[in-house]
């Protein structure tokens, strides 16, 4: 994270760098900094995808985690189901996991 921060000081127009900071800051428990890095990455590239959903989940903000991860996300694995279950929406979470189980069992090894 320290290396990324030093790099960000001199390369403050690199959305990928800030995308990495979202992740690194969260791992260091710096949730506000993770959210700031997400905002900066989006300013630089509105189409960039960060791991901010995981930051919101770590903060206990399951609505925002679900928003940024996307309910029913076709490429997701678990975060939306975890957020739904954490909000007490177990039937939806269970249904989503059944869909994923079926989807992954149909994939070739």
Q: What is the pLDDT of residue 74?
A: 60
Roughly how many angstroms between the first and final C-alpha of the chain, as a whole number?
36
Complete DSSP assignment for 2-66: HHHHHHHHH-TT-HHHHHHHHHHHHHTT-HHHHHHHHHHHHHH-TT---SHHHHHHHHT-HHHHH
pTM assigned to the model:
0.86
pLDDT of 60 strictly over 60: yes
Kindly report, residue by residue over 8-42, the tens digit of the pLDDT. 888 889 999 999 999 999 999 999 999 999 999 99
Distance of alpha carbon 45 from alpha carbon 39, whole angstroms: 10
């Amino acid at each position: 994270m320290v290396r990324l921060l030093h790099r960000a000081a001199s390369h403050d127009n690199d959305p990928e760098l800030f995308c990495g900071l979202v992740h690194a800051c969260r791992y260091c428990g710096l949730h506000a900094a993770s959210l700031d890095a997400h905002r900066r990455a989006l300013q630089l590239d509105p189409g960039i995808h960060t791991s901010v959903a995981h930051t919101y989940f770590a903060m206990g903000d399951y609505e925002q985690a679900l928003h940024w991860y996307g309910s029913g996300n076709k490429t997701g694995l678990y975060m939306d189901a975890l957020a739904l279950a954490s909000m007490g929406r177990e039937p939806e979470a269970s249904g989503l996991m059944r869909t994923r189980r079926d989807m992954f069992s149909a994939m070739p090894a």
